[in-house]
Structure 1
Amino acid sequence: MSEGLRKDYRIGEEIGRGRFGVVYRCYSLDSGEVFAVKSVDKSLLADAVDRECAEREAKITQLAAVGNPHAVQIYAMYEDEEAIHMVIDLCDGGDLFDRIATGGGAEMGEAEAAALVKSLMEAVAVCHRRGVAHRDLKPDNVLFDSEGRLRLADFGSAECFGDGRPMTGVVGTPYYVAPEVVAGGEYGEKVDVWSAGVMLYIMLGGIPPFYGETAAEVFEAVLRGNLRFPTRVFSGVSSSAKDLIRRMLCKDVFRRFSAEQVLTHSWITSSGGTRFVADPT
């Protein structure tokens, strides 16, 4: 571990592990506050591209997090011969995948889903205003802190856009990736809205909107974009919720909602304590 890191923090137990490194619990020697430190092992960065991605993740996380209460904050960075270390918020309240899995695939209540989507889209809207697209929104990257607050995490696939600069490259996770990403070529920040729409569909229905046995089959289904609401799982879901999903999972990027538009949709704005009336269709 970096000498500078150990000078400022006491390193605790391992709490997570990823492709390039390990996450530990850590404690500020100055304040006693608890954080997490993500240590990226340089030996696992196979080439200059991997190293550039690791360094870019730290910079983009900083850009996206400042003044963004629903994004994981980065507090300090250290580097030594072995690793790059990022001190970030400790999110020990699990992730959205856990919450969905806890229900055994059963649908989530609309009020809870609306509150989660609102917090997520608030985080994404701040990112987009700052010219950052996450590009890998999925339940595993939506974390919760000890007080249950949603925190958007893992900007490893994020990219900056703006000034007419489109993004390229097939990144993301099959079930959640937008059709314009799968198709190749250039795309914009609304890919994040599509991914969030997939998450909303799963929260309310317990199943993905576009399914396949293999990644290739999933991509084919995404490209077709044939959005349906099977009665057996969506019979109790309101027409307003379905309307928002349609606007988020719209293949026509120009007609697809932006993050800001999602936040102004009636299903989101009326979610506080409102009882949703199920759509009979």
Structure 2
Amino acid sequence: CVSAIDGLHNSGPTTMSQLADYRLLGELGCGSLGRVLLVRLQSSRTLRAMKVVERGQVSSAKQLAQLEAEGEVLAAISHPYIVKLYHTIRDAACNYYVLAYAAGGDLMALILRNGRIDEPASRVVVGSLVLALQHLHEEYSVVYRDVKPENVLVGADGHVLLADFNTARRLDDDTDGITAIGTPEYVAPEVVGGDGYSFAADWWGIGVLLHEVLLGQPPFMPSARRAGPNSASHCSSASGGERTSDRPAVPADAAAADAAAAAVAGQQQEAFLHGEKGGGGGG
């Protein structure tokens, strides 16, 4: 499937025509359910990201349902801080999701390069994600369930986009609402305790993310990174590095540290929306 754009197999005329509109330029990375390619739309010369998933490699009906749900969620959503899904193409073997391309890579790569993100920029990043999550919660009753820097893309203009919706689900969906899904450092305590997911779990994740962007590492780091549902063992991360337990925190000013601590303590949404923490960054 990774070479499917150049050499399609078992595709009908319509699928071949749709995929012929794109030229493969390279590979951007991979995730738990597929690889992400950089492609160019021939008609407009516009760059796009194409997530390619070979359905035969999906290990269970549950994962396949997650894959289809991700496409449905993204197809329904239009928001400036959520990655845009332009369309979905299917052939006999694969699903192809044509998405907005973010030239800046992911937020984890930015943290690894710089050690941390300064407070004014952190306000913009986290504020944008708060607005994206509010939109998901209020308009679609969707819990994202895996907030972390690797799932936040950075555009060429510096704006961030929430991406990778394969663990998102509607709050009224009774399937798999209890199992702890996500990345260990970011999972909310009530989820670990078996109480399941609510919107609060996303705000917990945002608080942990704020800590990481301000201080260079999350507040809770397992001694060894446990393989989880989003771990990819067969290819390199788009971030070009790994989070490690011995990655040092980079000192931040006292106000920024207080903001991160307050966020993880459960005051995330109020602090982000009203600017009650973190000093006067950003105006």
Instruction: Give the alignment's TM-score, normalised by structure 1.
Output: 0.78
For residues 7-34 of structure 1, what are the alpha-carbon distances to aligned partners after superposition, in whole Å with 9 as ceiling and x for unaligned?
A: 4333332222223222112222332221
Residue equivalent to 2:66: 53
C-alpha distance 140-267 of structure 1, shift in aligned 2 (>3 A): same
The Cα RMSD (Å) is: 2.7
Q: Give the CA deviation at 1:110.
A: 1.3
Q: Which one-letter code corresponds to 2:253 in the other structure?
A: G
Q: Which has the higher contact order (CA 8 A, sep 6+)?
A: 2
Q: Give the CA deviation at 1:263.
A: 1.5
Structure 2, gaps ≥5 residues long: 5-14, 227-248
Residue equivalent to 2:109: 98
2:219 alignment partner, one of 203, 209, 224: 209
1:236 alignment partner, one of 253, 260, 265: 253
Structure 1 distance, partners of 2:52, 2:155, is: 20
Q: Give the CA deviation at 1:37.
A: 0.9
C-alpha distance 56-38 of structure 1, shift in aligned 2 (>3 A): same
Residue equivalent to 1:222: none
Structure 1 distance, partners of 2:151, 2:70, is: 14
Structure 2 distance, partners of 1:46, 1:123, is: 30
Describe how 1:1-281 pairs up with structure 2 within 5 A. 1=4, 2-63=15-76, 65-66=77-78, 68-103=79-114, 105=115, 107-129=116-138, 130-162=140-172, 167-214=177-224, 236-238=253-255, 241-250=256-265, 256-257=266-267, 259=269, 262-267=272-277, 270-273=280-283
Structure 1, gaps ≥5 residues long: 217-231, 251-255, 274-281
Contact 2:146 2:183 (C-alpha < 8 Å) held by counterparts: yes
Structure 2 distance, partners of 1:153, 1:54, is: 13
Structure 1 distance, partners of 2:276, 2:258, is: 10
Q: Give the CA deviation at 1:234.
A: 5.6
Structure 2 distance, partners of 1:235, 1:78, is: 46
Structure 2 distance, partners of 1:260, 1:165, is: 30
User: Structure 1 vs Structure 2: percent identity of aligned residues?
Assistant: 31
Q: Which one-letter code corresponds to 1:236 in the other structure?
A: D
Residue equivalent to 1:229: none
Instruction: Give the alignment's TM-score, normalised by structure 2.
Output: 0.78
Structure 1 distance, partners of 2:208, 2:161, is: 18
Q: Give the CA deviation at 1:247.
A: 4.2
Structure 1 distance, partners of 2:102, 2:50, is: 11
Q: Which one-letter code corresponds to 2:44 in the other structure?
A: S
For residue 167 of structure 2, give the secondary structure of its aligned residue in structure 1. coil
Contact 2:104 2:155 (C-alpha < 8 Å) held by counterparts: yes
Aligned length: 247
C-alpha distance 166-31 of structure 1, shift in aligned 2 (>3 A): same
Contact 2:204 2:264 (C-alpha < 8 Å) held by counterparts: yes
C-alpha distance 199-83 of structure 1, shift in aligned 2 (>3 A): same
Contact 2:214 2:260 (C-alpha < 8 Å) held by counterparts: no
